[in-house]
Amino acid sequence: MAKRASRRRGQPRRRRSGSLWIPAVVALVVVAIVVGIILSLEGGGARASLEPNATAQPLATNPIPYPAVPRISVAETWEGMQAGQVVLVDVRSQASYNSLHADGALSIPEDEMDARLDELPRDRDIVLYCT
């Protein structure tokens, strides 16, 4: 039989040195995570990616099609409809109109407009929409 090392009473049991590496690794990982979070909140780690790219070009802005056609806001359209001064016309397909349309809008698909112009009143403003 092998002899066991005896301990004296009152002395703490010695830990094996091999079991200390686990808490050390966990502590290191926690510190790395905290430092990463702090850097990301301060923007320290992302400075290079926020620098403008020398080859980046601004997006082209499309001019308004038919600039001579007067524009009207949604609020002005609604007020005009309530006052009986504006007729709102949905020029999308009949299927699109049936799926969803603005309250009070008439459906006259664009490809039928020429044939149905006489349905529109001549004494009111006509507002066309397609989206």
Q: What is the mean pLDDT of each run of 10 residues along the chain (131 residues)?
A: 57 62 78 79 53 60 79 92 95 94 94 94 93 76
- CATH 3.40.250.10 is held by the domain 74-129: yes
- pLDDT value at position 4? 57
CA distance 108 to 128: 9
For residues 83 and 123, the answer to whether their CB atoms sit within 8 Å is no
CA distance 59 to 114: 37
CA distance 89 to 69: 16
- pLDDT value at position 27? 80
Q: Alpha carbon of 125 to those of 29, 79, 91, 113: distances in Å?
A: 69, 12, 15, 16
CA distance 126 to 105: 11
**30, two tokens:** 């926690």
- pLDDT value at position 64? 76
- pLDDT value at position 94? 95
- pLDDT value at position 29? 81
H or E segment and range at residue 89: strand 86-90
